[in-house]
Copies of this chain bind each other. A is one copy, B any other.
Amino acid sequence: MGEIESSSATIKTGRRSRGGALARRDARLSLALPTFGILKRSLPPMELLDEDAMALIEGNADKVMEEIGIEFREDGEALEMWKEAGADVRGERVHFPKGLCRELMKTAPATFTQHARNASRSVEIGGRNTVFAPVYGPPFIRALDGERRYATLEDFQNLVRLAYMAPAMHHSGGTVCEPVDVAVNKRHLDMVYAHIKYSDKAFMGSVTAPERALDTVEMAKILFGAEFVDNNCVLTSLININSPLVMDATMLGALKVYARAGQACIISPFIVGGAMSPVAVAGTLTQVLAEATAAIAFSQLCRPGAPVIFGTFATSISMQSGAPSFGTPETAQILMGAAQFARRYNLPYRSGGSLTGSKLPDSQSASESANTLLPAMQGGVNFMLHAAGWLEGGLVSSFDKFILDCEQLEAQQIFAQGIDMSENGQAMDAIKEVGPGGHYLGCEHTQKNFQSAFFVARTADNNSFEQWEIDGAKRAPQRANEIAKTWLDNYQAPALDQSIDEALVDYIANKKDSMPDAFT
């Protein structure tokens, strides 16, 4: 009952005819997962800033770029490129004549397709589309048994498996956790391979060193073919800006590799408001705009037309504890304000996520996550990293949280579709059939529509208090934990061409053999 068309990526457990709590558990754990395609928002994005405010912030950012400038550190080539482009370079500090970066940015595409190895999973980034991608970066994991420990490659692979199965997860992401059991200089090979092998969704590349970015591009060429990669985007990678106003050599190195290969980068000021930017929303937006504009313009110096995403990651500092705090109204304002500038410059926009500082998937975690997720949807985010699985301010990837978040993504995708105004949606026959004082449970329209009508979260318990007690008085994360285990038990890898698989394995083995392990 209530099952929706099964996706090709999933299977049914085949359990039948059990009563009471067990039947309900089976229904919850059933792997008849709904199928979601692309997420195209039916509503225009909300606009927080009026034209006067936009112009004021843009003018201030121009001043910051011209008078203060931005440092491009330990990268003589980058400085040379800026000189040639007409910037005023003093030491490592680049001062930008007004409008230079805006002009350079114009060659970046407003939307682009990132191809997945399964063509039906390719994502279009920009416009009214939103692409959800998993958590990125945590060194720790909350394992399925509840333990909090350093993450391993096996955890990484399991998170990729879950993201592959999750109905509204459009993208496989990148560093879904840090597999710290693998040498630092080699783990990128295993991470990229895991995305290719255990999923058929689009994925991200390594940015921790230029040579690792090159490895990513080479592996993509094995998967997609060299010519296809030269002419199409198959990678989207994350380039953080060292706010305030610094581009470091590592990020510049990776950015150059990807941009020159015609691959996409997300260029994101990484802001803890009050520490890396002013304790004020408009001031933070000014700095974000200056930083993002300069780095995006640089990507176009590397290769005009290279796909690029205007990014923002903003948390605010708790002035009591000095710790970053998440889901605050100010960070939602920064997120939505920066989105308006991305649209002003015809660029796809990255922000949002299910962010929280909480240590467990409790009510703090859920409130903070919603307070970023919903503004991100309404603000018009095109690429949402950290959409599921993030805990503890990004220190921890959590399986339970991943499942909980994924349901929220499904709900957002349904909301974004807008209201069905068809004859069936209008349901006039049902209203006539039922009449005053009746009920709709058995009417023809309900019978016809009950399987697809009204979203129900798999982890939600809407039973009576008494039934909930009989079922073990569980909190939502416990139900999520059961689901994560069931999904992994029933995971089936998408087919991968054997010759490609072997070529990838060879490439990785050769690379690993060519260098000693490094753990820092």
**B435 pairs with A244, CB closer than 8 A:** yes
Contact A437 B274 (CB under 8 A): no
* CB 8 Å contact bits of A47-58 with B (1 = contact, 0 = none): 111001100110
Contact of A363 among B68, B318, B365 (CB under 8 A): B365
A232-240, A257-265, A278-286, A344-352 - interface stretch: A278-286
Q: Are B363 and A454 closer than 8 Å at their CB atoms? A: no
Provide the bound-state CA to CA distance between A154 and B276, in Å: 49
Bound Cα distance from A327 to B24, whole angstroms: 20
Contact mask A291-305 → B, CB, 8 Å, 1/0?
Answer: 000000000000000
Q: How far is the CA of A405 from the CA of B368 in the complex (A)?
A: 12
Task: Pick the interface stretch among A208-216, A329-337, A494-502, A511-519.
Answer: A329-337
A36 interface hit (Cβ, 8 Å): no
Q: Is the CB of B245 within 8 A of A454?
A: no
Residue of B nearest to A441 (CB): B275
Are B148's CB and A358's CB within 8 A? no
Chain B residues with CB under 8 Å of A431's CB are 64, 68, 244, 278, 283, 286-287
User: In whole angstroms, how far apart are the Cα atoms of A421 and B58 in the complex?
Assistant: 13
Segment at the interface with B among A176-184, A185-193, A197-205, A411-419: A411-419
Q: Given the complex, which residues of B lie within 8 Å of A445, measured CB to CB?
A: 278-280, 283
Kindly identify, within residues 391 to 448 of chain A, every residue whose CB is under 8 Å from any CB belonging to chain B: 392-393, 395-396, 404, 408, 411-412, 414-415, 418-421, 424-428, 430-432, 434-441, 443, 445-446
C-alpha spacing A440/B277, complex, angstroms:
6
Neighbour of A358 across the interface among B285, B286, B368, B461, CB < 8 A: B461
How many copies altogether?
2
A29 CB–B CB distance under 8 Å: no
A152 within 8 A of B: no
Q: Are A461 and B424 in contact (CB under 8 A)?
A: no
CB within 8 Å of B: which of A125-175? 148
The residues of B that contact A320 with a CB separation of less than 8 Å are: 1-2, 24, 27, 456
A-B contact pairs, 5 of them (CB 8 A): A279-B450, A280-B420, A319-B450, A359-B473, A367-B457
Which residues of A come within 8 Å of B, CB atoms? 1-2, 24, 27, 42-43, 46-49, 52-53, 56-57, 60, 63-64, 67-71, 93, 148, 242, 244-246, 273-287, 316-330, 332-333, 337, 357-371, 374-375, 378, 392-393, 395-396, 404, 408, 411-412, 414-415, 418-421, 424-428, 430-432, 434-441, 443, 445-446, 449-451, 453-457, 459-465, 468, 473, 475-477
